[in-house]
Amino acid sequence: MSRVNSYASSGSSASRLSAMNERFELVLPTSVSDSKTQLHRKRYMPWSLDDATIISTAISASGWVATASSWKIRLYYAKNRAPTEKISKDREFRIEPETENEKIRSIAISLDLLAVLTHRRLIVYEYREPGEGALETVYIDKTGIGTPKSVSILQVGSVSARITGFAWIAVGGEGRVKLFEYAYLSCWSPHRYRSTLNCLQTSSKIRIVAFSHFSPMNSFVVCGVASDDRMHCWDVRVQESSSPRIISSWELDYTSRQNEPPHRGEITSAAIFNSPSGRAYIFCTVDQRHGSQLLRSFIAPLEHSTNDNGPCTLQWRALPDSVAGRNALQGTATSNGRFLVTIEDGLIRLITLRPAYEGGLTCLEPEMKWSSELKVVARNVSGISLSVTEEDGSLNVLAVDGHGNLIRAHISVPGMPRPEPPAFVRITHGNVVSELPSIPPELPGAHIVRELQAGSSDDEIRVVAR
């Protein structure tokens, strides 16, 4: 029996009482207007296909789209363009390989920074400053995490708002995640502080990394999906003049009780979000390839429970078949915690969340859906990125794939509350104390045996809540 439940009631008083955790009024989408276009790409000769094939993409909240081939990065600004206008690139640059086998593996983008991950290096750019060289190059293969596999960015503050900024970059490797910190005072600069988040009981490679929002309590959660489809989570609290505290770490493995053959599917994305009631959840999309025994995409409370039959465990839910297909390629949650967006082969779905009677979240049926031409690059190379931003009474969806297909959608949601003003956090850098708005992480891109372990790092991140 799986430890992710469908929508059946548990019958326990504890789980019914936990429904008090979720009480909010629903707002419903009424219409969607979508358009399809392409990124402008020149024709390549057969001998230069390595430079033509896109292996990774990323989208910033401000509308920048980045694509990466084996050695080249291309940047496009997709905001405020005509619906069907082909989007020309704004700039392009090349990563010079240092060895014969070094190629780009993954990229991530925030409001100001672009992280490029190769087989050996993490190269960080301030991409909105054309002509500038790399902000920093780190030889990841020398940091003890083996060959790097995945990368993600969390940024707090924005240079465009003329305020101080801070950013963390997470790089997934073999059995651990490495954290790097950057700060903006008069310019972006790397910190010497480096932290390592170790997995509890696995040496599998972390192939997806994701951040939660930065909390006003000066903490965030880092999640990593390993190649064995376990999800590893670290609750990180940063503090002044000392190493960040790992409040807890745990593993999620929802296949642990299935007495079935090894699956051939995989988790394709992971997003952490807060419901309108302020409770933290994780949403994972799942690609159930032919013969896979994995459950469909699911939602789970991001809470600790050592009891497998406790109320938190009983609130892990797979999305019903009527709103989730077998082959989910990418997904995310809106920052207000009211909607999920998933990309499937030939389809994009907007799913409305609601409080569940048993506690936690469930969804309304039917969902809103529209056609999609987005496709993966290859079996083990997705190349699909997704971004959702909120406005007063509407959502904007932007998605791109490794073939250069780009989809935009404007969704009307009458009565949806205005986006909350960003929570302010106070961050210390040297003798400077800055008050900054907390900006949602850039989302690209879990399962369940639970273990808790306190720990700490030998490195330092100087961030403090006042």
Q: What is the mean pLDDT of the chain?
A: 78
Least confident of 70-84, 279-293, 327-341, 448-462: 448-462
Instruction: Say how far apart CA 224 and CA 173 lie, in whole Å.
Output: 10
pTM, full prediction: 0.84
Categorize the per-residue pLDDT at 246 as very low, low, confident or very high, splitting at 50, 70 and 90: low
Number of domains in the chain: 1
Categorize the per-residue pLDDT at 2 as very low, low, confident or very high, splitting at 50, 70 and 90: very low
Segment 94-127, tens digit of pLDDT: 999 988 889 999 999 999 999 999 999 999 999 9
pLDDT of res. 165? 79
Beta-carbon neighbour count of residue 310 at 10 Å? 17
Length of the chain: 466
Instruction: Work out the percent of the chain whose per-residue pLDDT is above 90.
Output: 41
The domain in which residue 186 lies consists of 13-456
Closest to 387 measured CA to CA, from 372, 411, 408, 402: 408
- Can you tell me the mean pLDDT for 43-58? 69
Q: What is the CA radius of gyration of the chain?
A: 21
Residue 7 lies in a domain: no
pLDDT of res. 254? 57
Instruction: Say how far apart CA 420 and CA 262 lie, in whole Å.
Output: 44
Which position has the token pair 């992480």? Answer: 441
Residue 50 lies in a domain: yes
For residue 286, give the amino acid letter. V
Instruction: Say how far apart CA 169 and CA 131 lie, in whole Å.
Output: 22
Pairing of strands 347-355, 361-363: antiparallel
**Cβ partners under 8 Å of residue 103, min gap 6:** 50, 55, 70, 71, 97, 118, 119
Q: Quick check: 224 and 209 in contact, CB under 8 A?
A: yes
List the CATH number of the domain containing 214. 2.130.10.10
Residue 289 lies in a domain: yes
Instruction: Say how far apart CA 192 and CA 177 lie, in whole Å.
Output: 17
For residue 364, give the amino acid letter. L
Q: Quick check: 316 and 254 in contact, CB under 8 A?
A: yes
pLDDT of res. 56? 94
Q: Quick check: 315 and 360 in contact, CB under 8 A?
A: yes
Instruction: Say how far apart CA 441 and CA 214 lie, in whole Å.
Output: 8
DSSP 247: E
Instruction: Say how far apart CA 399 and CA 262 lie, in whole Å.
Output: 32
